[in-house]
């Protein structure tokens, strides 16, 4: 029974950090008028909406309620991002740096989930691993974009 509670907690945490990512990319989208960045940010936001939906479906199977909240650190991250954008304006490098910070956080959360000793069905582990792989690609895209801006900065 404790294992199922641990699994629910793990899934809730992953949904929350995806919700953080959705809100973070909405802020990034709003902070720029650059169409290429807006397209990227919207795609990554929709990606996390889908991931949260998939994880919430797994929570429902376990008899838990869907998670709609975000993490406390996510709320702090968005506040920090608001302040950074306010001080730097709509600077592409600053926005992408903030996004990379968020990508690092979600990447770590997924790595921790996959390394945890929480027992989970193989199909769920597969789902989390697939999401993690996609998130690593998103991180690399954001980092590469930021690196290009650093050169131009």
Structure tokens at 89: 């304006």
Note the pTM of the prediction, 2 decimals.
0.88
Amino acid 74: pLDDT: 59
| Mean pLDDT, the chain, integer | 88
Q: How many C-beta atoms lie closer than 10 Å to residue 119's C-beta?
A: 11
Helix (H, G, I), strand (E, B) or coil at 19: helix
Task: Determine the average pLDDT of the residues in 130-147.
Answer: 96
- Domain of 125: which CATH number? 1.20.1260.10
* Cα(40)–Cα(99) distance, integer angstroms: 11
Q: How many C-beta atoms lie closer than 10 Å to residue 27's C-beta?
A: 20
Angle ∠(75,92,20) on CA atoms, nearest 5? 20
Question: pLDDT for 51-96, tens place per residue?
Answer: 999 999 999 999 998 878 776 665 655 565 665 555 555 688 888 9
* Cα(22)–Cα(18) distance, integer angstroms: 6
Domain range for 50 is 2-152
Residue 118 DSSP code: -
Structural domain count, the chain: 1
Amino acid 50: pLDDT: 98
Amino acid 94: pLDDT: 85
Q: Where are the alpha helices (DSSP H) in the chain?
A: 2-31, 35-61, 72-88, 92-115, 122-152
Question: Could you give the angle at which helices 35-61 and 92-115 cross, rounded to 10 degrees?
Answer: 20
Q: Which long-range contacts (CB under 8 A, 24 or more apart) does 86-90 make?
A: 90/31, 90/32, 90/33
Structure tokens at 22: 């959705």
Amino acid 98: pLDDT: 85
């Amino acid at each position: 029974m404790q294992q199922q509670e641990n699994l629910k907690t793990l899934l809730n945490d992953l949904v929350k950090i995806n919700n953080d990512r959705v809100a973070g990319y909405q802020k990034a989208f709003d902070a720029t008028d650059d169409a290429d960045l807006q397209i990227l940010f919207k795609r990554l936001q929709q990606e996390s909406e889908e991931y949260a939906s998939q994880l919430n479906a797994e929570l429902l199977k376990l008899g838990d309620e869907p998670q709609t909240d975000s993490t406390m650190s996510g709320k702090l991250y968005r506040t920090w991002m608001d302040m950074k954008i306010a001080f730097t304006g709509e600077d592409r490098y600053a926005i992408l740096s903030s996004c990379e910070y968020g990508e690092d956080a979600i990447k770590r959360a997924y790595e921790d989930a996959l390394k945890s000793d929480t027992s989970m069905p193989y199909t769920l582990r597969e789902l989390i691993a697939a999401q993690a792989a996609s998130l690593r690609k998103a991180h690399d895209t954001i980092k590469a974009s930021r690196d290009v801006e650093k050169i131009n900065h």
